[in-house]
Structure 1
Amino acid sequence: MTELNSLTINITQSNTAKSMLEKLPPPAREWAESLPWEQRRYVLSLCHLLCAASPEVQADFLDSYTADGLVSRMLEDRDAQQQLEKYLRRFYISTEINQPVLKTYVRQSFIHSSQDLRRQPDLYLESALRLVLSTKESNSVFNYILGFELLKMIFQMSWSQHERLTALQKSPTSFVKNLIKPIQKSHRLNGIIVPKHEKVFFEKHDYFVQVPSIPEKRLIDLVMFTFSIDTVSELGFSIIRHPQSLVFDYEYIFQSEKEGIFTQGFGNE
Structure 2
Amino acid sequence: MKPKLGNSSKPRKFQSYSILETLPPLAKKWAESLPWEERRYVLSLCHLLCGSTPDLQAEFLDEYTADGLVARMLEDRDTQHQVQKYLFRFYLKTELNQAVLKSYVRQFFIHSSQDLREQPHDYLESALRLVISTEEKNSLFNYILGFELLKMIFQMSWAQQERLSILQKSPTSFIKNYIKPIQKAHKLNGIVVPKYERIFFEKHDYYVQIPDLSEKRSIELVMNTFTTNTVSDFGFSMIRHPQSLTFDYEYIYQPEQESIFTQDLEVINI
TM-score by length of 1: 0.97
The answer as to whether partners of 1:146 and 1:236 remain within 8 angstroms in 2 is yes
The answer as to whether partners of 1:186 and 1:226 remain within 8 angstroms in 2 is yes
Matched length: 268
Aligned to 2:156: 157
Describe the SS at the equivalent of 1:223. helix
**Which structure 2 residues correspond to residues 123-138 of structure 1 after superposition, within 5 A?**
123-138=122-137
The answer as to whether partners of 2:162 and 2:268 remain within 8 angstroms in 1 is no
Aligned to 1:2: 2
The answer as to whether partners of 2:74 and 2:80 remain within 8 angstroms in 1 is yes
Q: Distance in 1 between matches of 2:208 and 2:180?
A: 16
Please report how far the alpha carbon of residue 197 of structure 1 lies from its aligned counterpart in structure 2 after TM superposition.
Answer: 1.2
What do you get for the CA RMSD once the two structures are aligned?
1.1
Q: Any runs of at least 4 consecutive aligned residues in structure 1 with deviations exceeding 4 A, and if so which?
A: none
Aligned to 1:225: 224
Q: Distance in 2 between matches of 1:165 and 1:241?
A: 20
Q: Deviations over 1:180-215 (max 9, x none)?
A: 000000000000000001244443100010010111
**Which structure 2 residues correspond to residues 47-58 of structure 1 after superposition, within 5 A?**
47-58=46-57
Moved more, 209-218 or 148-157: 209-218
Percent sequence identity is 67
Please report how far the alpha carbon of residue 263 of structure 1 lies from its aligned counterpart in structure 2 after TM superposition.
Answer: 3.5
Is there any run of 5+ residues in structure 1 with no aligned partner, and where? none
Please report how far the alpha carbon of residue 39 of structure 1 lies from its aligned counterpart in structure 2 after TM superposition.
Answer: 0.7
TM-score by length of 2: 0.97
Please report how far the alpha carbon of residue 135 of structure 1 lies from its aligned counterpart in structure 2 after TM superposition.
Answer: 1.1
Please report how far the alpha carbon of residue 138 of structure 1 lies from its aligned counterpart in structure 2 after TM superposition.
Answer: 1.2
Q: Distance in 1 between matches of 2:165 and 2:182?
A: 13
The answer as to whether partners of 1:201 and 1:261 remain within 8 angstroms in 2 is no
Supply the AA of the counterpart residue of 2:123.
Answer: Y
1:168 aligned to 2:170? no
Is there any run of 5+ residues in structure 2 with no aligned partner, and where? none
The answer as to whether partners of 2:175 and 2:268 remain within 8 angstroms in 1 is no
1:268 aligned to 2:269? yes
Supply the AA of the counterpart residue of 1:149.
Answer: E
